[in-house]
Structure 1
Amino acid sequence: MATSDPLLVVIDPLARRTDGESVRIAKDVLSAGASSTKVCLPEGPEEFARALSRRGSRRPVVVGDDRALLRAVSLLHRQRELAACALSLVPVGGPGGMSLARSLGVPTGAVAAARAVLDGAERRLDLLVDDSDGVVLGAVGIPSVPVMARVTGSGGSAASGSPGGDGPGAHHSWLRTCQSLVRTLAARPPRVPPVTGPGPSRLRVEVDGVTLVDLDQPVEAVSVAPSGDTDRARGGAAVEIRPASVDAEATPLRAVGRRVTVSGPSFRYRADSVVTGPVRTRTWTVREGAWGLTLPG
């Protein structure tokens, strides 16, 4: 990409709140190096989508974390404009929100990343698209990271209030007993189910129609990721299955294919930074070179 390209710089609101100084530095470097720069400051997902859809001939530059990049790719995919639009990214966010950008080869410093936007080249990358039209840039992990159970319930204020309606001489013993029981139950804290780590799952994993593991063999984890340039089969998905083992650690099963289906009892999965589910089945298909990202030359 030439530095004469006009740029649309979309600054994610979380990036502005998290690290305003890096945002300012990136904006200054991009404005100084491009022929024309339009800066958008969306306040939410709808304004983010509107700014991206009105980019015209400008090359979009996302200033934000992994979620902002995923949002931009998802929007362009749904609009069927991903093939014709090369994205650029200046990673800005919390320390845990830029691992995807790092794995894709984007510099994580504001100055280096902005210079890569100006002087780098577009690289076409593979994409995983699932059967609900969701996209995955990095990897799918099954099971997802366990989430603390949420318990909601009444605080007991209404039930524990003073009883009313019993006028003098009308104190029935059964009514007092019921009111006492209600107060006792309301005072008890809600039971929170224990939170444990993920145990073995029973899943069927199929790659290009071939079953690698079936429901009778429990597995500890399954991962699916675009194979990229590190594997011989570009345009494929690299699948790794870690079988559950009582004794020594079992040898992982690995395969590469274009279509991966996971099914079984309800399961949750993490796609990039987003946890989805529970679902009973999900299929991911590789789209070779489906999206472009500007990376250092």
Structure 2
Amino acid sequence: MSAHDQLLVVIDPVARRIDGESVRIAKDVLCAGAAAKICLPEGPEEFSRALARKGSRRPVVVGDDRALQRTVSLLHQGRELADQTLAVVPVGAPGASLELARSLGVPTGAVAAARAVLDGVAHRLDLLVDDSDGVVLGDLSIPAAPACAAAAPASARTAAAAGGGPSVWDTCRSLVRTLVRPAAVPAPADGGRRAQRLRVEADGVVLSDLHDPVEDVRVRAGAGHAEVTVCRGAEGEPVLAQARAVTVSGTAFRYRADTQVTGPVRRRTWTLRPQGWSLVLPQAEA
């Protein structure tokens, strides 16, 4: 990106609240290197309006992964994403809130990221678009569902079925079982989660059907294809595939797309958009 470009710098309110110093540094570097219009939206609606009024200015979002994902979603919904070059200066809480930007190759330091906005090169990247018009820039995952609450003791269930509560004797037996239970019983390794019954299709090829317990499904846009991994339990090897479209259906499930958790839904299809968006990244060193 040339330093002579006009920029629309949209600074997410969460970034201003969490790390005002990094925001100030990024703003100073950008304003010193280009004609930059600064927008300070106070919420999602103002964020959307600021982006819609960008005109010919190149959008630069200063914020965390959620702000980046929101910006891409808005541009996609406005059918501007394919023709728009986007830049980001990652600012947010340390750790997971900046993982997506880091994985895409964006520097996470305010100075380095702002300089990349001014001097970097636009890269075309793949993304996934679902049938509800949602977008995925990084990882899509469908983890195992939370386990149901532990069942009540058999004596309590019998008493309840009979229309009454557990007897004093049942209560005493339950107390004794609790007291004599070994103290070193380890917690379940899966964190109390259970496999789901899902049908997973990659370009129409069934990778897992409803009779197969599925513990995890992961999809990521790669180099011209979606990389699909289906884990069907400890006794089975993961199923790997490459596809242009992935459909998951079956029992109601939730999924995580980048930073957002959606659901429950019973069916969803994600389609690859090769080179569907453009992000400014640092120039490769010679």
Shorter-chain TM-score tier: 0.7 to 0.9
- The structure with the largest alpha-carbon Rg is 1
Cross-structure match for 1:221: 216
Instruction: Describe how 1:3-42 pairs up with structure 2 within 5 A.
Output: 3-34=3-34, 36-42=35-41
SS of residue matched to 1:216: coil
Aligned partner of 1:211 among 206, 209, 215: 206
Q: Counterpart in 1 of 2:279?
A: 293
- Quote the sequence identity (%): 66
1:71: which partner in 2? 70
Match of 1:265 in 2: 251
Distance verdict in 2 for CA 1:22–1:145, change over 3 Å: farther
In structure 2, distance between residues paired with 1:263 and 1:82: 28
Report the Cα distance in structure 2 between the residues aligned to 1:58 and 1:227, rounded to whole angstroms: 29
Deviation at 1:146, TM superposition (A): 5.6
Superimposed CA distance per residue, residues 82-133 of structure 1 (whole angstroms, 9 cap, x where no aligned partner): 1111000000001221000000000000000000000000001111000101
Gaps of 5+ in 1: 150-194, 229-233
Specify which of 260, 263, 274 is matched with residue 260 of structure 2.
274
Listed one character per residue, the Cα deviations across residues 22-76 of structure 1 (whole Å, up to 9, x for unaligned) are 0000000101111x11000000111101111111111110000000001100001
Q: 1: CA distance between counterparts of 2:144 and 2:215?
A: 11
Question: Which amino acid in the other structure matches residue 212 of structure 1?
Answer: L
CA RMSD of aligned residues (A): 1.7
Secondary structure class of the residue paired with 1:102: helix
Which one of the candidate residues 234, 252, 264 is aligned to 1:245?
234
- Counterpart of 2:3, as a letter, is T
Match of 1:52 in 2: 51
Equivalent residues in 2 for 1:88-103 (5 A)?
A: 88-95=87-94, 96-103=96-103
CA distance in 1, matches of 2:220, 2:238: 15
Cα distance, 1:145 vs structure 2: 8.2
Q: 2:187 corresponds to which residue?
A: none
Change (3 A) 1:130 1:69: same
Aligned to 2:104: 104
Where does residue 80 of structure 1 map in the other structure? 79
Does structure 2 conserve the Cα–Cα contact (< 8 Å) formed by 1:10 and 1:39? yes
1:139 Cα offset (Å)? 1.2
The offset of 1:144, in angstroms, is 6.9
Contact 2:69 2:137 in 1 (8 A): yes
Which residue number in structure 1 is paired with residue 180 of structure 2?
none
Q: 1:146 to 1:8 in 2, by over 3 A?
A: farther
Kept in 2, the 8 Å contact 1:205–1:261? The answer is yes
Q: Which amino acid is the alignment partner of residue 232 of structure 2?
A: P
1:201 Cα deviation from its structure 2 partner: 1.3
* CA shift for structure 1 position 196: 5.4
- The gaps in structure 2 that reach 5 residues or longer are 150-189
Whose strand proportion is higher, 1 or 2? 2
Partner secondary structure for residue 202 of structure 1: strand
Q: Partners of 1:272 and 1:286 in 2: how far apart?
A: 15
Partner SS for 2:197: coil
Preserved CA contact (<8 Å) 1:144 1:275? no
Q: How far did residue 245 of structure 1 move?
A: 2.7
Contact persistence 1:261–1:283 (CA under 8 A): yes
Q: Equivalent residues in 2 for 1:107-186 (5 A)?
A: 107-143=107-143
